[in-house]
Amino acid sequence: MSTIFVHGLGYIGLPTAAMFANYEHEVTGYDTDEEIIEGLDDGDIHIEEPGLRAFVTQALESGNLTVSNEVGEAKYHIIAVPTPFDDESKEPTLDYVEAAGEAIAPHLRTGDTVILESTVPPGTTVETLQPALEQSGLNAGADFALVHCPETVLPGDIITELKGNDRIIGGVNGVSTEAAVRLYKSFVDGEIYTTENATTAEFVKLIQNTYRDVNIALANELALIGADYDIDSREAIEMANTHPRVDLHQPGPGVGGHCLPIDPWFLGHGSDQLDLIRTARTINDGMAGHIVDILRKELGTLDGKRIALLGVAYKGNVGDTRQSPALDLAHELQEAVAEAPEATADGGIQSDSDGVDVRLHDPHVDDQILHLVDFEAAVNDADAVVITTDHDEFAELVPAELCESMAGDLLVDTKDMLPEREWISEGFSLRRI
């Protein structure tokens, strides 16, 4: 049993803290956000994730997990802070990683281990975190262990994957690596793969997500090509995947979340060799524009139309809207209508546009800022309904009910949720990606 401080109680830090606590370690969860700490103190879990509430409650009730708004001493410090990304410059902000290192430094003792789990550009552990920690007067590798151990869990299945997935551990030297291996072995069922190079571990994490992003781009491009030949690309992909060495991904409305659309750019932080990877990003980001084109073509015009987007979360059965393809689509629909103004004689701009009425509905998302509406309000009198997220609820849609509510008959199923023949036979015009 070890004392562990977990810095950052978000999607990764909170389940990780609870996991160690449920495996009998003495864990303190720390976050700079007072509201999160106060909430957890009252047993209030701020993240929607299957099973997480019970899991964290168990850890809190056992007394092995406590939360604090102050950093203190511990044998292990695990850093799981955000690494925000600037959409314009494509550059990450590493301030939170640096701040975590600076906050740990006064409490660091000889023999302690510091582990960075946050996803970061290659070189961050050594170039950003190490100098911050060494403000303590101690040296990484010699006096304290320093390690990158990337998280690899899939939102929606975090608790199972945290335990079952293989882990990559890269210390700045062998002693560092071994210190982290001892700790993770206490709960990880998967294999633990080690490297004595923290930058390699950072690189591995990024290329896993880049692999997925590039492959989704291939699937999206195949869907666009398939449409030109008037074939069902999903059927073609399924058949192609019967080959023992082919494993194509699925097309969709774009790629969301805080990982796949961002990590490829982290790879480019210290390298300008991104060609295929950059093109893949462009293809995936272009899917919203492709759906706008489908809607415009099928509806004649977008002006004055009512369009319901079902699913605002970036993927099925989660409540996370970060980099959500549906929000991009909503934005592009508004832009597409706003872009059609005419120049007036005095050089001004006039638009007769009625705008487009985009209604957002998501049963898993609770967000006041997004102005979500309930299902009935979303589909009522709608000219078109677009399924943008594969939530289980949307597979249960009933043609007769939707037919009664909608004004039009256009359905765009970007996630392959609806049985095509059935909906067409019920009089719907169904377009898929």
Given the rule CB under 6 A, which residues bind ligand SAJ? 119, 151-155, 208-209, 212, 216, 249-250, 252, 255-257, 259-260, 314-315, 325
Which residue out of 75, 90, 163, 259 is catalytically annotated? 259
185 CB contacts (<8 Å, ≥6 apart)?
Answer: 192
Are 76 and 104 in contact, with CB atoms under 8 Å apart? no
Q: Which is nearer to ligand SAJ, 66 or 165 (CB)?
A: 165
In the complex, what is the shortest distance from the CB of residue 249 to ligand SAJ, in angstroms, rounded to a whole number? 3
CA distances from 206 to 94, 211, 213 (A): 16, 9, 11
Q: Which is nearer to ligand SAJ, 92 or 155 (CB)?
A: 155
Q: Which is nearer to ligand SAJ, 171 or 261 (CB)?
A: 261
- Give the CB-side neighbour count of residue 264, counting CA atoms within 13 A: 26
- Biggest CA–CA distance in the chain, Å, is 78
Measured CA angle at 227 (ends 224, 231), to 5 deg: 130
Across 20-35, b (16+ Cβ under 10 Å) vs e yields bbbeebbbbbbbbeee
CA terminus-to-terminus distance, the chain: 51
List, in sequence order, every beta strand (DSSP E) within 159-293: 167-171, 192-195
Q: Which is nearer to ligand SAJ, 112 or 328 (CB)?
A: 328
Closest CA to 181 of 173, 169, 190, 191: 169
Which residue out of 149, 163, 205, 297 is catalytically annotated? 205
What string of DSSP letters covers 308-327?
A: EEE--SSSTT----TT-HHH
Q: Using DSSP, state whether 282 is helix, strand or coil.
A: helix
Give the tokens for residue 392: 């289980």
**Locus of tokens 């970061």:** 120
Q: Which is nearer to ligand SAJ, 119 or 177 (CB)?
A: 119
Q: Which is nearer to ligand SAJ, 151 or 332 (CB)?
A: 151
- 75 part of the active site: no
Are 213 and 136 in contact, with CB atoms under 8 Å apart? no
- 403 part of the active site: no
What amino acid positions are annotated as catalytic residues? 205, 259
